[in-house]
Chains A and B, each alone.
Chain A
Amino acid sequence: MIQVRNLVKEFEGRIVLDDITTSFKKGAVNMIIGKSGSGKTVFLKCLIGLIHPTSGEIRYNGRNIMEMRAREMKRLRRDMGMLFQGSALFDSKTVLENVMFPLDMFSRMNVRERKKRAEFCLERVNLSHAADLYPSEISGGMMKRAAIARAIALNPKYLFCDEPNSGLDPKTAQLIDELISDITDDFGITSIVVSHDMNSVMNIGDNIIFLNEGVLEWQGSKDKIMDAKNEKLNEFVFASELFKKIKEADSIITENNCV
């Protein structure tokens, strides 16, 4: 269980995250949404300990990460898998070596077992055929899948994804969404996904957190997001013509039903 209390982050006097208090649903896909520059990625990097907050608490099963010693933090990080916006695969390693890397560093398995586990992870993301290719030889969508395979190699408890769909076509984006959702269910992981893609939110979001200019404006499920009364959330959601039309169609159906 991850809980955040009164989290504040300032960069040279500019407040980027303003007094955020929230919690993330265990074993579900939690989505942090908001427009560009709203502080989503900074929030995610605070959660994983890459950025040190100015004040506040981030608790993993009750333990505040700001009070953790280096060794304890290192242990916690082994429970985290991360999918970066640009995939962050190691250029000098093949796809299989990338997936094997966390196993090489931390598992007690022998080479054969490590390879088997890496191959299983690649199979899980339908990337077995690209095992011997280098990141520069595969497409953006394949890179994201390889990064997911690497993130789940050590059976993490938490999966963090920063804009997993950025730069992907709608079909591939949907595949990545489904993959994240399936992996969350299959492995019982708590996933935290940063996105500004409303299709993703409606596809896989179980618990949605909306940030606006560093402030947590709204939190709820995807079923409630269309009818939410928050003006800033509505501005964000219905910026898309498609969602505007869905909303209009929805109100027409509701009116007809009433008549």
Chain B
Amino acid sequence: MSIISSLESIGEYVELMRRVMAPPDRVREFFKEFSKEVYKLGVNSIWLVIIISFFIGAVIVMQIAINVASPLLPRFTVGVVSREIILLEFSSTIMCLILSGKVGSNIASEIGTMRVTEQIDALEIMGINSANYLIMPKVSAFVFFMPVLVALSMFLGMFGGYIICLFTGTPPVSTYIYGIQFFFRESFVWTSILKSMIYGFIIASVSAYFGYHVKGGSLEVGKASTDSVVINNILILAADLVFTQLVMG
């Protein structure tokens, strides 16, 4: 039974995405909504990204410095390892897992509330493709802004580590900076940005799906919001596994 309902949900998601990807009824209105969503979903997430990236980056460097203290390993290893962790996993995957809680639940509850208060029906009555009008600006705005958030997260994660080195001297700042530059591969940055854009699409579209198909009242909106975060997290982790194997493996 659950397999059938899962398959039905996948079918509904694909059908919804087909409607979302249709050309907008009014391009002018699309760009108006797009810019609003860039601010709401992207710009409003900057503070969360700043705080989390800075502190986690600092903790990563501290942990590595403590646990990789071996005479066999050069001290700049702390910089190398923390850079690879931040670039490849933290700033894309972990940051997206955190953002799915904020952005995903926001999208699911907003669209879910519009569904239960008949605002989506009102759009349909006007002859508007409600899926396209409501979801397309959110998905495209979040995917569009994702590289900014990831780049910011990368920089602040490594900056957090720099501050720790500055205050503790373990490793010294110059060694840390040497480490984060050692054997630097630019492709890791692009890989991370690409990954985060895929996750951004998953977060926005899956959350919108849960919100759009709410039936009932406020309890169901809350449930849709929670479900969207759980499913987003599972999908992001699964996509990370597949992507890492395909690109890095």
Contacts and interface: CB of A to CB of B under 8 A. Distances in A.
A160 B118 CA distance: 14
A82 B122 contact: yes
B29 A104 contact: yes
Interface residues of A, number: 23
A201 interface: no
Contact of B125 (A77, A90, A101, A104): A77
A90 B127 contact: no
B118 to A, nearest CB: 4
B9 to A, nearest CB: 19
Contacts of B118: 84-86, 88
A74 B125 CA distance: 9
Given A104-B29, A105-B25, A105-B26, A88 B119 contact: yes
Q: Is the interface of B mostly helix, strand, loop or mixed?
A: helix
A89 to B, nearest CB: 8
Given A105-B25, A105-B26, A105-B29, A50 B121 contact: yes
Contact of A84 (B28, B29, B114, B121): B121
B124 interface: yes
Interface in B96-129: 113-114, 117-119, 121-122, 124-128
A96 interface: no
A176 B161 CA distance: 65
Q: Is the interface of A mostly helix, strand, loop or mixed?
A: mixed
A50 B29 contact: no
Contacts of A160: 125
A48 interface: yes
A146 B215 CA distance: 26
A160 B124 CA distance: 14
Of the candidates B26, B119, B126, B128, the one having the most CB atoms from chain A within 10 angstroms of its own CB is B126
Interface in A69-121: 73-78, 80, 82, 84-86, 88-91, 101-102, 104-106
6 contacts: A78-B127, A82-B122, A88-B117, A88-B118, A104-B26, A106-B25
